[in-house]
């Protein structure tokens, strides 16, 4: 549970009693990391940006490296962009000449609601997170500043600071600049992300001089500490720091405030910071890289949300900003979440350098290698292999039919790994092969990518026009889950060129093969949208790793007076 004050993998200068207005400290550094989604699966093809010029694209395992980039050493902003996800932002204290590690977990965009820009409206946030009230004639095109009068689609996410894993998805780091431009720590009581798009996919913003009213839900675990009024902060995605702008007033179990633009918004109480540092070492005396260091305030009057974490660098170093004057629980965990160390430290009134901290670590590194062929037994020329070990999924690129990947382990005991080959040319997936892991090397032998199609598509025809979407060029997924006694299947398709966004939801007693009815269906494209007509059904033909079937029925065309048209189509999407 909790809010991320900042820990990183490099040293930072100590704070004076009054450091004055924040001033960036230019430097040159190397940034490496891994990008995953909410299911901890690697995200490939994401664009990662650091500083003003650093850029990289994640590989099949979600990994990236940006070398020798000019960046603010005190607050280096790392931005990650991928279609259908909110922009991911992490903020590091970086060190010149050293490799700085970062983990970024992206959040998939989900439509919270729509409203007419001409008349305004209210959109309810997901997960009971509150609501946003938009004014009439209050939206503009973000790029051109021209007034927008069409339908506005609102994508949103509610961050619960008391939820497990909050520190993994927090945007930036909870350090901010107050109204006097002085740096402060931030204790979150509620946070949201909001993004507005138009009918043609254009990014929208509140018009100049207009405001929207946000109602933020206060989680139950924070209500006893939540003050009557609280500063509002938005994330500056360029600097990676939150900026104070306005205040919110408590109304029951919510905070209510007005904003002039949309980004990530946060209700935070500021607190003083001091510098913290430590070198994490294994019992062998060697530095322990990529360990997660967690600090949480333990005082009886402290909020659950005073909590933070960071990764150690290659030299075992962790450092950054932590709350002044508070007793903290320090924990060190390996990448599997196993607790290696726990101790109460503080309170600190000045710079806290713990020196070497020795933990008990029994892990190691195992290197997997092997070959991969296609259905014709020829070497795969474009593909990858997934290796599932100790509950984590790793990916190795196949080069000229061969692969090799070194994977850090949390334990050294014998285990079994599952390896699967994928052929991206023939769009084929092989059968999982179980291999024994007994030492530091594993030869998986020959894998065959054959048996299951990787093809994903959504194709349908309406009023004589056919629309075709395929992955990976277009982003798409299906999610099947239970709700009370019903099974629900949500489907989503996103294309940026030309802009298209499709979403729908099926509900039935089960999602086994057969005919199901759409609860809703919407298809936004340039010039208008199609919505569910009198009836729209899907006949499910496959529901295992993939959800597939055909659709038929009617849709209403918003660009033609909601005239109803017949629609037919077919789809196949990988289940999330």
Question: What single string gives the DSSP state of each residue in 531-571?
Answer: EEEEEEEEEEEEESSEEEEEEEEEEEEGGGTTEEEEEEEEE
Three-state secondary-structure class, residue 500:
strand
Task: List helix spans (H) across 50-113.
Answer: none
- Give the pair of three-digit tokens for residue 468: 């075709």
- Give the pair of three-digit tokens for residue 20: 């004055």
Q: Are 132 and 169 in contact (CB under 8 A)?
A: no
Which residue carries 């007994």 as its tokens?
438
Nearest alpha carbon to residue 319 among 352, 349, 291, 277:
277
Q: Confidence band (pLDDT; 50, 70, 90) for 475?
A: confident
Report the distance separating Cα 209 and Cα 186, nearest Å: 28
Report the distance separating Cα 33 and Cα 401, nearest Å: 26
Q: What residues pair up with 547 in beta bridges, in sequence order?
A: 543, 573
- For 107, 130, 388, 448, the CA distances from 261, given in Å and listed in that order, are 21, 17, 43, 52
106: number of Cβ within 10 Å: 21
Report the distance separating Cα 183 and Cα 178, nearest Å: 7
pLDDT at position 13: 39
Rg, Å, the chain Cα set? 25
Q: Which of 168-182, 497-511, 559-573 has the lowest mean pLDDT?
A: 497-511
Average pLDDT over residues 93-114: 82
Which residue carries 């107050």 as its tokens?
178
pLDDT at residue 125 tops 80: yes
pLDDT at residue 410 tops 90: no
Q: H-helix or E-strand containing 322?
A: strand 317-323
- For 103, 197, 234, 295, 442, the CA distances from 52, given in Å and listed in that order, are 20, 26, 21, 31, 42
Q: Which residues does 561 contact at the CB level (< 8 Å), separation at least 6? A: none
pLDDT at position 443: 97
pLDDT at position 196: 95
120: number of Cβ within 10 Å: 17
- For 109, 162, 460, the CA distances from 523, given in Å and listed in that order, are 16, 35, 11
Q: Are 310 and 318 in contact (CB under 8 A)?
A: yes
471: number of Cβ within 10 Å: 18
- Give the pair of three-digit tokens for residue 482: 């239970």
Q: Are 506 and 539 in contact (CB under 8 A)?
A: no
Task: Tell me how far the alpha carbon of residue 273 is from its chain's centroid.
Answer: 27
Report the distance separating Cα 69 and Cα 90, nearest Å: 16
Higher pLDDT: 337 or 300? It is 337
Nearest alpha carbon to residue 449 among 434, 435, 432, 436:
432
Angle (CA) 234-215-120 rounded to 5° is 95
Q: Are 456 and 470 in contact (CB under 8 A)?
A: yes
Beta strand extents in 111-182 (DSSP E only): 111-116, 121-124, 130-134, 139-141, 151-159, 175-177
20: number of Cβ within 10 Å: 10
pLDDT at position 510: 85
Q: Which of 195-199, 332-336, 500-504 has the lowest mean pLDDT?
A: 500-504
Nearest alpha carbon to residue 363 among 343, 403, 390:
390
- Give the pair of three-digit tokens for residue 566: 């017949």
Q: What residues pair up with 460 in beta bridges, in sequence order?
A: 467, 569
Report the distance separating Cα 465 and Cα 568, nearest Å: 11
- Give the pair of three-digit tokens for residue 542: 């496959």
Q: Confidence band (pLDDT; 50, 70, 90) for 52?
A: confident
Report the distance separating Cα 261 and Cα 205, nearest Å: 6
pLDDT digits (tens, 9 = 90+) for 526-568: 666 676 666 788 899 999 889 999 999 888 877 677 788 888 9
Which residue carries 């999982």 as its tokens?
432
Higher pLDDT: 312 or 128? It is 128
Report the distance separating Cα 473 and Cα 352, nearest Å: 49
Length reported for the chain: 576
Nearest alpha carbon to residue 344 among 359, 329, 358, 326:
329
- Give the pair of three-digit tokens for residue 390: 């100790």
pLDDT digits (tens, 9 = 90+) for 233-284: 999 999 999 999 999 999 999 999 999 999 999 999 998 888 888 999 999 8
pTM for this predicted structure: 0.79
Burial 183-217 (b: 16+ CB within 10 A, else e): bbbbbbbbbbbbbbbbbebbebbbbeebbbebbbb
Q: Are 306 and 296 in contact (CB under 8 A)?
A: yes
pLDDT at position 243: 97
Q: Confidence band (pLDDT; 50, 70, 90) for 2?
A: very low
User: What is the percent of the chain with per-residue pLDDT over 70, rounded to a whole number?
Assistant: 92
Report the distance separating Cα 22 and Cα 397, nearest Å: 43
Average pLDDT over residues 138-152: 94
Q: What's the half-sphere exposure (Cβ side, CA atoms, 13 Å) at 109?
A: 25
pLDDT at residue 368 tops 70: yes
Of the chain, the end-to-end C-alpha distance in Å amounts to: 25
Q: Are 23 and 332 in contact (CB under 8 A)?
A: no
Q: What residues pair up with 393 in beta bridges, in sequence order?
A: 388
């Amino acid at each position: 549970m909790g809010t991320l004050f900042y820990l990183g993998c490099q040293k930072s200068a100590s704070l004076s009693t009054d450091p004055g207005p924040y001033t960036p400290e230019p430097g040159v550094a190397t940034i490496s990391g891994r990008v995953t989604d909410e299911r901890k699966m690697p995200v490939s093809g994401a664009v990662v940006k650091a500083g003003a010029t650093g850029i990289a694209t994640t590989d099949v395992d979600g990994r990236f490296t940006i070398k020798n980039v000019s960046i603010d050493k005190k607050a280096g902003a790392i931005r990650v962009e991928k279609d259908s996800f909110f922009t991911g932002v992490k903020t590091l204290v970086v060190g010149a000449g050293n490799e700085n590690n970062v983990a970024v977990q992206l959040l998939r965009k989900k439509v919270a609601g729509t409203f007419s820009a001409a008349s305004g409206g209210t959109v309810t946030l997901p997960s009971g997170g509150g609501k946003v009230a938009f004014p009439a004639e209050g939206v503009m095109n973000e790029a051109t500043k021209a007034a927008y009068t069409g339908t506005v689609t609102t994508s949103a996410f509610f961050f619960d600071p008391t939820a497990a894993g909050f520190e993994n998805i927090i945007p930036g780091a909870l350090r901010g600049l107050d109204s006097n431009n002085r740096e402060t720590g931030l204790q979150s009581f509620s946070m949201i992300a909001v993004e507005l798009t138009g009918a043609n996919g254009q990014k929208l913003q509140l018009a100049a001089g207009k405001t929207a009213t946000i109602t933020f839900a206060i989680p139950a675990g924070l209500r006893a500490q939540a003050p009557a009024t609280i500063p509002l902060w938005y994330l500056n995605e360029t600097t990676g720091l939150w900026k104070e702008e306005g205040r919110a007033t408590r109304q029951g179990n919510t905070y209510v405030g007005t904003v002039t633009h949309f980004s990530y918004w946060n209700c935070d109480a500021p607190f003083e910071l001091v510098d913290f540092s430590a070198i994490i070492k294994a019992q062998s005396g060697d530095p322990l890289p990529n360990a997660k260091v967690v600090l949480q305030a333990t005082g009886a009057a402290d909020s659950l949300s005073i909590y933070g974490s960071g990764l150690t660098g290659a030299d075992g170093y962790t450092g950054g900003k932590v709350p002044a004057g508070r007793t903290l629980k320090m924990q060190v965990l390996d990448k599997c979440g196993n607790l290696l160390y726990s101790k109460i430290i503080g309170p600190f009134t000045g710079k806290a350098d713990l020196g070497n901290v020795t933990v008990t670590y029994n892990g190691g590194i195992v290197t997997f290698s092997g070959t991969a062929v296609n259905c014709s037994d020829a070497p795969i020329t474009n593909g990858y292999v997934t290796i599932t070990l100790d509950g984590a999924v790793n990916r190795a690129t196949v080069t000229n039919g061969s692969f090799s990947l070194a994977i850090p382990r949390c334990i050294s005991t014998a285990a079994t790994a599952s390896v699967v080959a994928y052929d991206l040319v023939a769009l084929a997936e092989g059968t999982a092969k179980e291999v024994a892991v007994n030492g530091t090397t594993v030869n998986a032998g020959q894998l065959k990518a054959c048996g299951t199609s990787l093809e994903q598509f959504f194709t349908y025809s309406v009023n004589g026009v056919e629309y075709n979407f395929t992955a990976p060029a277009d982003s798409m997924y299906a999610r099947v889950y239970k709700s009370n006694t019903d099974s629900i299947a949500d489907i989503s398709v996103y294309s940026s060129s030309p802009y298209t966004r499709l979403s729908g939801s099926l509900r039935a007693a089960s999602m086994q093969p057969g005919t199901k009815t759409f609860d809703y269906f919407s298809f936004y494209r340039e010039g208008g949208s199609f919505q569910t007509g009198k009836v729209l059904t899907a006949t499910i033909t496959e529901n295992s790793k993939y959800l597939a079937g055909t659709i038929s029925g009617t849709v209403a065309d918003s660009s033609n007076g909601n005239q109803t048209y017949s629609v037919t189509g077919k789809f196949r999407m990988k289940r999330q």
